[in-house]
Amino acid sequence: MQNYPAPAQALVAEMSAACAADPARAVAFQGAPGANSHLAALETFPNGLPLPCFSFEDALDAVRDFRADHAVIPIENSLHGRVADMHFLLPESGLVIIGEHFMHIRHTMMALPHHGQITQVMSHPQALGQCRHYLRANGITPISYPDTAGAAAAVAEAGDPHVAALAPSIAAGIYGLKVVKDDLSDGADNTTRFVVLAREAQEVPLGSVSVMTTFIFEVKNIPAALYKALGGFATNGVNMTKLESYQRGASFAATEFYADIEGHPDEPHVRRALEELAFHTKWVRLLGTYPQARERIIG
């Protein structure tokens, strides 16, 4: 609680108390009330009780510790790439992905009601990155903060007339700020993809809906390892919509990958592709199979 700026603490306490009384309806999100993740939680679970958590780890812990039934976590943005390091956080949490949600993102610049010339703006690094061209063109210095709405609360608390926040427009009303400029983004199609996490997987019957499967794997440290590992997806006609590499540890000798594919692991062509992947890698770990929220168009 003490990590939140003072203007957010009372509302965080109120929302946390409501979730504690009915954890089966609680939906954990990262950020202060009014953050984009708060709005995504409401869109994904209209009858849920959003539970604000200061960090991504706190949101996952809330589900793991039965203080929330689900978590809604941003995983990637169309303009600024990766949001949360889920390839690290999710395997350690023991949670599984059971759904996804796409949300169109537009930022609002907000400041004190009697603000002066804005010279600095606070927000989550993702929001700052999604508006970097605008900020640079207007000579505004970006300042990183753990979340968008928390930045709005921090601006209200600090009382500096030259500092603004980038946050959803709802945050201005929550924290008593004035809208300086609305509908900010460096791209009209700015979209964030969220994943829905739970303690247990939900059954997705074969053929019932179009599904996604997410997994991580580590390639062997040999020439053409990735080429061999992914060959089965090409030969079996499995569409891979995301492949991202990362290093674990300081040796830089073991490359791990995070991947999304279209299809269910029990479908014959997907099963064959995953079997071939397992043969050519050190290990493979499935993180979830879940209904598609948006069709992936192959161009």
Instruction: Please write the tens of the pLDDT for every residue from 62-94.
Output: 999 999 999 999 999 888 888 877 778 888 899
Which among 54, 206, 70 has a CA at the least distance from the CA of 145?
54
Strand 26-30 to strand 49-53: parallel, antiparallel, or no bridges (unpaired)? parallel
Which pLDDT tens digit goes with each residue over 243-259? 998 887 666 666 889 99
Question: Does the active-site annotation cover 194?
Answer: yes
Q: How far apart are CA 59 and CA 51, in angstroms?
A: 8
**Could you give the domains of the chain?**
6-104+191-198 (3.40.190.10), 107-184 (3.40.190.10), 211-291 (3.30.70.260)
Task: Please tell me what DSSP assigns to residue 202.
Answer: -
> How many other C-beta atoms are found inside a 10 Å radius of the C-beta of residue 179?
13
Per-residue 3-state assignment (H helix, E strand, C coil) for 261-278: EECCCCCHHHHHHHHHHH
- pLDDT tens digits, one per residue of 45-60: 999 999 999 999 999 9
pLDDT the model gives residue 227: 93
pLDDT at position 251, please? Answer: 64
Catalytic residue selected from 192, 213, 214, 281: 192
- Examine the residue annotation and report whether 241 is marked as an active-site residue of this protein: no
Q: Which helix (H) or strand (E) holds 118?
A: none
Report yes or no: 80 and 62 within 8 Å, Cβ to Cβ. no
262: pLDDT strictly greater than 90: yes
Query: Residue 248 has what pLDDT?
Result: 75
> Catalytic residue among 194, 215, 217, 233, which?
194
